[in-house]
Structure 1
Amino acid sequence: MALHKAIIFDIGGVCVGSPFQGIAKYEREYNLPKNYISIAIERSGENGAFQRLERGELTIPEFYEIFGKELSDPINKEYYLQYLQSRRNSNIPSLPDKITIDGRELFRTMMSETAKIDPIVVNAIKKLRANNKFKIAALTNNFQLPTQYQEEIEILGGSPSIEFKELFDEYIESSVIGLRKPDQKIFLYSCEKLGVAPNEAIFLDDIGMNLKAARHLGMRTIKVNLGKSKDAIKELEDLVGIPLLDDSKSNSAKL
């Protein structure tokens, strides 16, 4: 077994709140069935608006328009029914004749959740940095907003603070390098930046397909389930042999 030399953290849903919480909030507000929007985003594939935004291929106005059109397409009803059937769910909800989703409103709701830092995870990162035994990286699917969209930047919660980014030896962003998870190339890129082999890295993420891609390369993975970051950090603690949960709710997690 390779000695772990690096720990790589996803951002949304791991270090901060998950945009999936925002999606769930939007679905409740507009009486859409659970996971309807998430399935529509997933089925749009690598050329979908959300995926293209995270590779830096769309401006935010372009994204809002395309995102809304994609999610409002009637084909998504078929995708959702296929999803329920694949899970052998016999409770098929009644879907409206027409579903219209406002791309801007949805995305703002999603991003509002990512402004909330998880103190358990952030304190664990600080303890790892203090130990000075591991390289620490962030690996995030994100988007960039030019300064001319200042109003939108403020509404969406702005960029991560300098203090937050300084928690990591490397802060790797999909929109900067033009690759996004679960493309295996982004994991190889991250390991190269850290100077480690994939089997020397531990990767934490909240999305199964990202973890699967990392595992395929030999990385050790930890799933961070919604609202259960303490369980994930306990698993990481056991792997690295360093106490990571002490004082996890202290004010030291604030940035």
Structure 2
Amino acid sequence: MSVDSAQPPANHVKAVITDWGGVLTSPLKEAIAVWLAAERIDPERYRTVMRAWVTGAYGSGGPSPVHGLEDGSLQVAEFERLLAAELVTVDGGPVAAEGLINRMFGAFAPVEPMYEALRTARAAGLRTALLSNSWGNDYPRDLFADLFDAVVISAEVGMRKPDERIFRHALDLVGLPAEQCVFIDDIEHNIAAARALGMRAIHHTAVDTTLTGLRAMGLPV
């Protein structure tokens, strides 16, 4: 976990803005590992393809289907078709495209300590927001009304992290300047983008260290 070293006064941070996948859910790598094993997909082939696509999505490596999926310019079904076409099973067989994303993330589980921390912060008067790059996920929206003051999902707004515009959109919705918000994400590119705008930021690697970082900022979690 990386936390900004110069912490503000306890009453300075007035909002918590958080990612979803990998922060409020169990780690992405764990879910992917379950899926790869269940469908006997060649893991090295998957990693090679996804490494190139993710690198492209973050600005070096050429156009990437990940970018289009996250900002909504590429339909989920087309992304699934493109990805399935790149994958093979361990014995060289095809991978089914339909429903691929739901299968990929089927092992996601909610991380209750993070949900409880957000509930506690909101009950204490802090504003809370979700800022998520969507992969066509089925979000647990039944939980959101009582958890967040604002929900920003990339494909629904046509922008994606680390684009400055999507951070500013989230800040507008919570009605606070960047300096009064802390952002939590498991991807370092997004953390860097938040800090560039003046937000406090925690690079999420484990629940305990993230909660420790929030408490170090004086937040009631």
Question: Are the counterparts in 1 of residues 121 and 219 from structure 2 also a CA contact under 8 Å?
Answer: no
Cross-structure match for 1:10: 19
Question: Are the counterparts in 2 of residues 24 and 35 from structure 1 also a CA contact under 8 Å?
Answer: no
Higher CA-based Rg: 1
CA distance in 1, matches of 2:150, 2:56: 30
User: TM-score scaled to structure 2, two decimals?
Assistant: 0.78
Letter in 2 for 1:239: M
Cross-structure match for 1:42: 54
Structure (1 or 2) with the greater helix fraction: 1
User: TM-score scaled to structure 1, two decimals?
Assistant: 0.69
Percent identity, please: 26
1:22-53 Cα offsets, whole Å, 9 max, x none, are 33345564343494344132134364223212
Q: How does 1:1-255 map to 2 (within 5 A)?
A: 1=8, 3-26=12-35, 29-33=40-44, 35-45=47-57, 47-69=63-85, 71=86, 103-104=97-98, 107-114=101-108, 116-132=109-125, 134-143=126-135, 158-225=138-205, 228-242=206-220, 244=221
Question: Given the superposition, is the C-alpha separation of residues 12 and 176 from structure 1 closer, same or farther in structure 2, using an over 3 Å criterion?
Answer: same
Letter in 1 for 2:66: F
Question: Given the superposition, is the C-alpha separation of residues 159 and 45 from structure 1 closer, same or farther in structure 2, using an over 3 Å criterion?
Answer: closer
Question: Are the counterparts in 2 of residues 26 and 106 from structure 1 also a CA contact under 8 Å?
Answer: no
CA RMSD of aligned residues (A): 2.8
Question: Given the superposition, is the C-alpha separation of residues 215 and 100 from structure 1 closer, same or farther in structure 2, using an over 3 Å criterion?
Answer: farther
CA distance in 2, matches of 1:68, 1:51: 17
Question: Are the counterparts in 1 of residues 34 and 107 from structure 2 also a CA contact under 8 Å?
Answer: no
The aligned length equals: 203
5+ residue gaps, structure 1, are 73-95, 145-155, 245-255
